[in-house]
Structures are given as C-alpha cells and as structure tokens.
Chains A and B, each alone.
Chain A
Amino acid sequence: MRKSKGWRITLYAILITYGLITLFPFAWAVSASFKTYAEIVGGGLNLIPQNPTLDNFRHILFGHNMFPRWIMNSFIIAGIGTIVNILLNSMAGYSLARLRFPGRGIIFYAILAAITIPGQILLIPNFLIMRSLGMLDTFGALIIPTAVNFTYIFMMRQFFVNFPREVEEAAKVDGLSSTMTFFRIVFPMARASIATQGIFVFMSFWNEFLRPLLYLASPQNFPITLGLRSFQDQNVSWWNYIMAGSLLSILPIIGLYIVLNKYFMTGFRIGGDK
C-alpha cells in the first residue's frame, strides 16, 4: 500500500503516542520503586529519583516476613497448576481426537458447553463444595478445580485431529504400546501447542485474584496478588513498597513473554479463529 508522507507521519504519531500512554504508568511505578517514601509523597514531577535507592526492594525481599513467601506461593500454585493442566489437557485432547470409546461424543459436547458457562455462577457453589471437602485455605482449592481447562482441551483436540497418523503407526510397528506412543512420541511433537497453553495457563494462575481471595484465609498461604494489598492500611499506603512489590510480581511473566514470545502469538491466532 502506497501512502502519502503526511499519512505516514500521522500513523507514527498515533503509534508513539499510544506507546507512551502504555508506558506512562509503568514508568511512574518504576520511578517510585527507587524513591524513598518521603520523596514520593513530597510531590514533584521528577521521573528520575533525587536519591535513587534500592531500600524498597531490599525491605520487601529481605526485611519483610511474608513477601518472599507470597512470591514462592505464586510459583508453587502456578507451577503445579500449569504442569497438571498441560498433562491432563493434552491427554484429554488426544483421547477425544484419536481414541474410540463409548461416551466420547457426549463428553466432547459437555466440554464445549462448559466453556460458555460464566464463572460467577459457579463461584458460590464451588466455595461450599470446597468447604465440605475440607479444602479451604489450601493450594488444592485453587489448583484442583482448574486442573483442566476446557478451552485448551478443545485446542489440543484440534491439534491432534490434524496430527499425521503415520507417526503413530510407525511407533506401533516398532512395538510401542499406545500409551507409550502418546508419551514418548506424540506428546513431545505437540511442543508448540503445549507451550502456548502452558503460557496462558501459567499467566492466569499467576495473575488470579478472586479465587485466592475467596479460598485462602491465612496470610502465609497468599499468592502475591493478594499479598500486595497488605502494604496498604486504613491510613497509609506505602507506595514505595507497593510499587517495588508490584513490579517484582510482574517480572516472571515478563520473563516468560521475552523467552517464549512466538508462542504468545500462536495463542492469539487460536483465539481469533473462533
């Protein structure tokens, strides 16, 4: 497409302005995390701190009795949740795509229907179910109900439907049982789909707020999303610690984004295909 010079300039102006709008809040958060509390509340529009300090990070990482634990909890919940999801979603997707068993059709339609149910409706009953299972205030309450994800089961099924049958037949000729064929041959070849669902599952566990709020009572079990609120009480908001903590809580996801960037994009193609 050929465009005039004026049009080009407008285009870049829009793109850069939007970029600045995106970065503006983060820039201030970064700035505040290196400032002292006094400098933050003292006002002044200097993005560069007068006396840059690492004290805020030092305090929450080493001087705070809970912060490191919250980060660790988030890693445990999101880590276990993601591994279990990848395994169970892939197995279910493979089963729906390739293996014949009675009731397969019904299960497939039930999964499709489940995708469309708004989460709010299940919240209260699930809380009561958790309570009667004695799982309140445990990580299990967060991991088990979301140990599978219906959307990604569907995605894995679509992947395996298009998977070349010859590969599996060759493995069978070599004497592998079909269970072994799945784990040794098929599963590793689904790397891209697995990475895509892994990223998004990890991110949704890591960023979750409502269910932890509902299920977890003891501060030592909190993930970081809940913990961040505790730097704020009725009277004072310790913006220096809150900003340092917020930024640290984003880092793992940003790391994931940088390392596995191409799989993020695959995820969106799938989203857009609907």
Chain B
Amino acid sequence: MTSRRLEAFQGFGFIVPVILVLFVFTVLPLGYAFVLSLMRVNQLAGTYEFVGLANYQLALNDPRVHTALMNTLRYVIIVVPTQTAIALIMAVALNSGIKFQKTFRTVYFLPTLTSSSALTMIFMFLFAVNGPANDLLVGLGFIETPINFVQDVRFALNSIMIMNIWATVPFYMTIYLAALQDVPDTLYEAASLDGANSWQKLTKITIPNVVPVTNFVLLMGIIGCFQVFDQAFIVSAGSGGPANATLTFSLVIYQYAFMVIGTMGYAATLAIILAAIIFVVSIVARKLNREETLY
C-alpha cells in the first residue's frame, strides 16, 4: 500500500511543473482571451468595460482587418501548396537512389536552421535597391532602374512569400524523405513489372502512400502561414506597409494589442477569429487532400 502511495506521490511530483505551466500559461490565458474579447480594455487607465460581442461586430467592418485577411489568405493559398509540392518533388528526387544524397540534404537544410530574423535580413539585403538582385536584373537588361522590392506595393508581399517558401521547403522535404523511406520497395518493383513509368509510380504509389504525411505538412503549413509575423514585421518595421501590402493578420493583431492604445480587447477578439479560421481551413484542407488521393 505504501509503495502504491509512494508511486502516486512520485508520479504527481514529476508532473507538477507541467501542470503549473499548463494552467498558468495555457488554460488560464485561453479563458482570459475569451473574456478579453468581450471587453473594451483601456491599458493606461487599467479599466475593463464589458461590451458583449461588439468587438466581433467591429471586426466584420474593419477595413484594416479585411486587408490583413486578404493578404494572409493570398499568402496561404500561394505558399502552402507551392511549398508542399516542391518539398515532395525534392524529397522524391533525393530518394531516387542518387549519389551524394547526404551532401544535398545537408545543403538543403541550411535555411531551416536559420532564424527568421537573420533570413529576413539576408533577403532584405539581396532585394535592396543597391543589392545583388537589382544589380543582376539591371546588369542583364531586364529592368532599367532598380526596384525597391520591399517598399513596392507590387512586390513586398511576394518577396516575403518567396522567402518563406525558400525557407520552409527543406523542413517539409525532410519530413517527406523520412516517410518515403518507409514506402515498401516491393510496391515499386511490382509496378515496374506491370510496365509503369516514373510518373505513374509517383502518382499511383508515392503520393497515395504519403497521404498522412501530406496532411501533416498541409496542416503545419496552414497553421504557420496564417500566423506569419516575423518577416512581415521586420520588412515593414512593424507598419505592415507599403500601403498595407505586408499587413498580415498576426501583424494587425499585434498592432491593435501593443501599438494602438485601447484596443487590446479587440486584438484578443481578432486572435480568436484567427484561431477559428485556422481550425476550419485545416479541416477543409484535410478533407480535400483525402478525397483527391482516393482515386
């Protein structure tokens, strides 16, 4: 009996720190977020005023939120499928019995190791007015005058997208590679005997066999892209400019919470809306992926 009690004591003792963190920094703030979303918060005066669903109503008619949502949706729609497709293709290429696999893999992995902050700096340098990309484009005669990519409404968000794809592909590629190594060789051998070509093997064997991984990659990609913040913040110095071109949903939440006075409750509302959108989109994406690969 005592040993049983000792075990319970030890078991509980081992997990107490986790319970504390879980409660104070996850459960409590989760409830707090919903409460805040029903409040008008004045940080300076320290007052909390109950306003019901007014913040949610406000969000529906806020042009900055609309812009941020459109930017973010565009970001997700372009970045997620592109990075997933490139990751899969590169993983298949790496997995097709080539030489120097480890060397390629090591090189490819570099962007994943690098912080978003250092990467953004490197890309800002590459695409600066007097940076290498402009020098190259002008030198080759593609453009006459240098383009200020990150300050130009047409290019700012696209530049961040390219950077994001470049930076996250290796991570997903490595996940795919691990999964591909688990696809039984016998499937490919049987397909070869039946006279299948490489394309057929890819679409009929490889892709259907990694559906769970694709689901995982899509899910991670959607969650990550909807929450894109660091790059947009660094490129625009927090403003979301030029002309709101890099205003992402997370950035607008940050601005309302910490740069504008008196809209913290509203920002909490937007965070909840973002979480809800992520949740719904993730479910839809999983459904689509499953249906597509049934055939």
Contacts and interface: CB of A to CB of B under 8 A. Distances in A.
Judge: A and B partners, yes or no. Answer: yes
A210 interface: yes
B274 A1 contact: no
Nearest to A231: B121
Given A209-B115, A228-B121, A104 B17 contact: no
Interface string A20-34: 011101101100100
A205 to B, nearest CB: 11
Interface in B104-141: 104, 106-111, 113-119, 121-126, 128, 130-132, 135-136, 139
A272 B216 contact: yes
Contacts of A124: 33, 36, 253, 257, 264, 267-268, 271
Interface in A245-274: 246-247, 249-250, 253-254, 257, 261, 264-265, 268-269, 271-272, 274
A124 B258 CA distance: 9
A119 B224 CA distance: 10
Interface residues on A, range: 35 or more
A145 B24 CA distance: 8
A118 B250 CA distance: 11
Contact of B118 (A15, A102, A182, A225): A225
Contact of A268 (B110, B131, B175): B175
Interface string A86-103: 001001101110111111
B143 interface: no
A120 B121 contact: no
Query: Most A CB atoms within 10 A — which of B22, B106, B119?
Result: B22
B interface: dominant SS: helix
A43 interface: yes
Contact of B11 (A12, A14, A99, A213): A99
Interface stretch (A48-56, A61-69, A106-114, A190-198): A106-114
> In the complex, which of the residues B115, B116, B212, B278 has the most CB atoms of chain A within 10 Å of its own CB atom?
B115
Nearest to B134: A43
A19 interface: yes
B216 A203 contact: no
B30 interface: yes
B28 A125 contact: yes
A207 B112 CA distance: 10
B178 interface: yes
A13 B190 CA distance: 28
Contacts of B21: 144-145, 147-148
Given A28-B125, A121-B272, A214 B15 contact: no
A45 interface: yes
B108 A22 contact: yes
B147 to A, nearest CB: 14
Contact of A257 (B108, B109, B227): B109
Contacts of A254: 110, 113
B216 A274 contact: yes
Contacts of A127: 257-258
Contacts of A226: 117
Given A114-B26, A147-B17, A207 B116 contact: yes
A272 B180 CA distance: 10
Contacts of B123: 25
Given A1-B192, A209-B230, A253-B113, A122 B33 contact: yes
A169 B98 CA distance: 47
B271 A111 contact: no
Interface of A: 1-3, 7, 11-12, 14-15, 18-19, 21-23, 25-26, 28-29, 32, 40-45, 88, 91-92, 94-96, 98-104, 107, 110-111, 114, 117-129, 144-145, 147-148, 150, 153, 178-179, 182, 203, 206-210, 213-214, 224-226, 228-229, 237, 239, 242-243, 246-247, 249-250, 253-254, 257, 261, 264-265, 268-269, 271-272, 274
Interface of B: 4, 6-12, 14-15, 17-19, 21-22, 24-30, 32-33, 36, 89-90, 93-94, 96-98, 104, 106-111, 113-119, 121-126, 128, 130-132, 135-136, 139, 166, 170, 174-179, 188, 192, 198, 212-213, 216, 223, 226-227, 229-230, 233-234, 250, 253, 257-258, 264, 267-268, 271-272, 274-275, 278
6 contacts: A14-B93, A148-B18, A225-B115, A225-B117, A225-B118, A249-B118
